[in-house]
Amino acid sequence: MSSGTQQSAVMFRAMRITDVPDIIAIEREAFTTPWTAEAFINELTHNHFARYIVMEDHTGIIGYGGMWTIIDEAHVTNIAVRHDRRGMGLGEKLLQRQMESAAEYGMQRMTLEVRVSNDRAQRLYERLGFEPAGIRPGYYSDNNEDALIMWVELDASKTGEQPG
């Protein structure tokens, strides 16, 4: 009766250049102004701050997330799950993994921007401890929508990291 069987088989790994075509397909499903393949390739090959992971199961890549780790702060650049896999808790699992990874890299805080109209994503972020911290006016170029800036303190006890 539970969708836990699909979720229990989910694995995470570092994104590879060979993953970019699958990532672009998810980007196009998820965003009105998707990143290009060249943008992802540049992130993977030239941006030493960039950390990208993919989430996969027996069907292949079902989600991905990216962040930049700068000094002690992680900035989520993007996070998305395949359209047909949404509503199963996978986005939350993916963001939790990103938070754990950021803590493992020594990051103390994490930030992201989200459309002010995206209540569903904001609720997810709030469940994981993110709090609103301001507005970026006209942040989204497709419709000039504002972005809500959200932050969370990364605490090893909240991200699942166990001491020693």
In the set 27, 43, 56, 125, the catalytic residue is 125
In the set 113, 139, 140, 153, the catalytic residue is 113
The answer to whether 140 is a known catalytic residue is no
- SS3 of the chain: the string is CCCHHHHHCCEEEECCHHHHHHHHHHHHHHCCCCCCHHHHHHHHHHCCCEEEEEEEECCEEEEEEEEEEECCEEEEEEEEECHHHCCCCHHHHHHHHHHHHHHHCCCCEEEEEEECCCHHHHHHHHHCCCEEEEEECCCCCCCCCCEEEEEEECCHHHHCCCCC
Q: Please tell me the distance from the alpha carbon of residue 31 to that of residue 13, in angstroms, as a whole number.
A: 23
The answer to whether 38 is a known catalytic residue is no
Number of other residues whose CB lies within 10 A of the CB of residue 108: 13
Residues belonging to the active site: 113, 125
